[in-house]
Structure 1
Amino acid sequence: MAFAPRFIDGKVFGQDLGKIVCVGRNYARHARELGNEVPTSPILFIKPASSAVDLSKPIDPVRTADGVHYEAELALLIGKRVSRVSRVSPATACEAIVGMGLALDLTHRDVQSELKAKGHPWERAKGFDGACPLTPFVPVKGRFIDWSDLRFSFDINGELCQRGHTAQMLFPVDRLLSEISHSFTLEPGDVVLTGTPEGVGRLPRGARLTLAIDDWLFLDTSSA
């Protein structure tokens, strides 16, 4: 069944979810915590629409022997076509954003490490069924959103695990969308995951999960 993005007021976006474009190592401290180099240009990969599930409901991701690892990220819902946006004035790309929410970029870290060691792509570790739980989206049309000053958090069983601030992004939202648009045309229904801050780790079973963006979004859910 196709996944249709929806907003916090319950309204469903007019098109099914498209591709999910993800940004790796967009926070320097996260890159360092996994022993990776800090990139000088955005690292991009794609999750298929089939990886998305609704974070409003308990999530039950496929697990490997090492379990599944969480990476909380600001998610942007795209509402109009974005292609080859000028790198000189990237802010125009933000006009295509119709919603913001949060996602868990779930990862089979053991599989990813094995694939990276062999120089292979990451999709088997990142694009499996259930690998992209998404919250409902906050509508942004007609609202002033300072994309350089958004704070979000992810708690497990009431304990803060990740805290993100978009001011700490290596590549801010406008530049990310511009850069992405030169590799992949973004279409209505696509979602962009903007990278995760430090604090990633293994997702426990039977845990209470809490996600929030400033005063815009608050969601309680659980893992099976």
Structure 2
Amino acid sequence: MRLLRIGPPGRERPATLAGDGRLLDLSALTEDIDGAFLAGGGIDRARAAVDAGGLPELDPALRVGPPVARPGKIVCIGLNYSDHAREAGAPPPTEPVLFLKAPNTIVGPNDEVLVPRGSAKTDWEVELAVVIGRTARYLTGPERALAHVAGYTIANDVSEREFQLERGGTWDKGKSCETFNPLGPWLVTADEVPDPQRLGMRLWVNGAAKQDGSTQNMIFGVAELVHYVSQFMVLEPGDVLNTGTPAGVAMGAPDPKPYLREGDVLELEIDGLGRQRQVVGQAR
């Protein structure tokens, strides 16, 4: 099932994309696609409502918002692809590298991405995002970790490298600028992604291919990450886990590095999860 949120920022309506391409309104079932919806059997109710028929249609020309309402937290994994660690000049980690992004970084998959004031090194990162569906706390192992996953979507983990690496030694300030986490277009439910470690992922800037990787090359897979993170913090329904990016970011390119500028166009896709497109603007 493909769940999404349709409408202007702050007034999105819950919806599902039917197999025939129609957008069906889920407002009669729930106010939003959020942690309460995911934890309370919302996916099963939505599936039953689609099967029963009669759901009103929505205009497909409406804006697509992020597929999950503002999460409690966005947990991110750094250097989780060996080729990306290599291009960053870092050894592959022996344990997952964790950092957090502010929840208000989330925007829709086709919304504008803003280069922050004072930025010279704004970068892109296509990532598989995991949306939590059940509380994960001190899980005993990876074996049952995927049972806590509601589904998957695409994230662009936009990053300002100078803020991240040269301004005080903390990653979060280079990761939490406004618009720095386009998400979507859909939340594809876990039952439709039987193996999250076999998904191709690609990113283009101004039509030029920059990233072309696969989740099979993660150092730590999705199940291991959900288990690991649950040892340090409680993952709650609606939380988002960004799982890392393959090689091909601007930071890893030869000089002069092609960091993002106003007017650039980003396009991202992951197999089965849809596609994003963002035009880069400048924060004023």
Q: TM-score, normalised by structure 2?
A: 0.70
SS of residue paired to 1:99: strand
Do 2:115 and 2:260's aligned partners in 1 also have CA atoms closer than 8 Å?
no
Q: 1:48 aligns with which of 102, 107, 110?
A: 102
Residue type of the alignment partner of 1:73:
E
Structure 1 unaligned spans of 5+: none
Residue type of the alignment partner of 1:14:
D
- Shift of residue 46 of structure 1? 0.7
Taking the aligned partners of 1:99 and 1:21, their CA distance within structure 2 comes to: 15
Structure 1 residue 162 and structure 2 residue 211: aligned?
yes
Counterpart in 1 of 2:266? 209
Q: 1:123 aligns with which of 164, 172, 175?
A: 172
Structure 2 unaligned spans of 5+: 1-8, 18-22, 27-31, 36-68, 251-258
Counterpart in 1 of 2:166? 114
Higher Cα radius of gyration: 2
- Shift of residue 94 of structure 1? 1.1
Structure 1 residue 192 and structure 2 residue 241: aligned?
yes
Question: For the structure 1 residues 143 and 156, does the alpha-carbon distance in structure 2 shift closer, same or farther, using more than 3 Å as the test?
Answer: same
- Shift of residue 154 of structure 1? 1.1
Residue type of the alignment partner of 1:13:
I
Do 2:113 and 2:180's aligned partners in 1 also have CA atoms closer than 8 Å?
no
Counterpart in 2 of 1:78? 132
Deviations along 1:19-58, one digit per CA (max 9) or x if unpaired, are: 0000000001111111112111100011121121112223
**Fraction of identical pairs, as percent:** 32
Structure 1 residue 133 and structure 2 residue 190: aligned?
no
Taking the aligned partners of 1:91 and 1:144, their CA distance within structure 2 comes to: 17
Question: For the structure 1 residues 7 and 177, does the alpha-carbon distance in structure 2 shift closer, same or farther, using more than 3 Å as the test?
Answer: farther
Residue type of the alignment partner of 1:51:
T
- Shift of residue 203 of structure 1? 2.3
The total of aligned residue pairs comes to 219
Q: 1:66 aligns with which of 112, 120, 129?
A: 120
How is 1:132-151 mapped onto 2 (pairs within 5 angstroms)?
132-151=181-200
Do 2:201 and 2:271's aligned partners in 1 also have CA atoms closer than 8 Å?
yes
Q: TM-score, normalised by structure 1?
A: 0.87
Question: For the structure 1 residues 220 and 121, does the alpha-carbon distance in structure 2 shift closer, same or farther, using more than 3 Å as the test?
Answer: closer
Do 2:115 and 2:262's aligned partners in 1 also have CA atoms closer than 8 Å?
no
